[in-house]
Amino acid sequence: MKRAFAILRHNAPAIIVLVGGIALWEAVIRGLAIRAFILPAPSSIARALGENWTTGYQILPAAQATLQEAGGGLIAGALLGLAVAFAVARYPSARDIVLPVGIAVNAIPIVAFAPLANQWFGSQSVYSKMAISAALVFFPIMINVLRGLTSVNASSLELMRSYAGSEMAVLTKVRIPNALPFFLTGLKIGTTLSLIGAVVGEYFGGLNVALGRVVVESASTLSFEVTWAAIAVVSAVGIVMYLAVLAAERVLIPWHPSVRGERVA
């Protein structure tokens, strides 16, 4: 009870700004009589959300489908990023080949490939969306994990040497624990990217029940309240995914300065 109160107090400024912002938005729309196709009022967005939750545009099942695509893409991209990072860290000569190519590939706006991914995997398939997500997630994970595996304190390596520790022991006891916070940072960046990949993939066709489709179709029929409702739900999904990584950080790296600093005093 006391702890719940402390958390509430800690977050009070953010909550006040959020609630105040929504109230101001509502007041401005009503006061200036702004038309819904410019910017609908929060109350009408909420109404649209309620009306289309499971019926009509079916926002709830759509959110589930999008979450599945983004989550699948995130996992696939993370695994791929981990695999490449470990390989490159293990064979330093590979670094000179992989890194320049990786950086060049990363400069390509991957979402531009969304229509092609639909061609390759089938536009109705969840895999085309996952592929876009995975491609976006891959790079930040790979770069972060690689940095974590290689930026190991020189004295830590000497210490392991003084204990006659094997390469494997150095990997499991020094490099991997050192890389864990870096991986989680990459994963946090990845959550947002994976949602972008999924939603943009959906814009170019796919399952009828998916948030990207809701955005495209509601906008084309000028139901902008529904468009905004879908955007709000996408944002909520993104926040939930981000919070899930934060929760994982608290469990996995309680010793890390970033986690230590977040504790409510």
> What residues make contact with other proteins under the rule CB under 8 A?
92, 150, 152-159, 161-166, 169, 173-174, 177-178, 180, 253-257, 260
C-alpha–C-alpha distance, residues 232 and 170, integer Å:
46
Q: How far is the CB of 83 from other proteins (least distance, A)?
A: 22
C-alpha–C-alpha distance, residues 117 and 164, integer Å:
50
C-alpha–C-alpha distance, residues 139 and 127, integer Å:
19
Half-sphere exposure of 44 (CA within 13 A, CB side): 18
Query: What is the sign of the dihedral through the CA atoms of 15, 21, 27 and 29?
Result: negative
When the beta carbons of 11 and 166 are compared against other proteins, the nearer one is 166
When the beta carbons of 31 and 92 are compared against other proteins, the nearer one is 92
Q: How far is the CB of 87 from other proteins (least distance, A)?
A: 16
C-alpha–C-alpha distance, residues 51 and 120, integer Å:
36
- Residue ranges in 33-175 assigned as alpha helix (H): 42-51, 59-90, 92-106, 114-121, 126-150, 154-162, 167-170
- Residue ranges in 204-256 assigned as alpha helix (H): 211-220, 224-252
Q: How far is the CB of 154 from other proteins (least distance, A)?
A: 5
Q: How far is the CB of 254 from other proteins (least distance, A)?
A: 8
When the beta carbons of 177 and 205 are compared against other proteins, the nearer one is 177
Q: How far is the CB of 146 from other proteins (least distance, A)?
A: 13
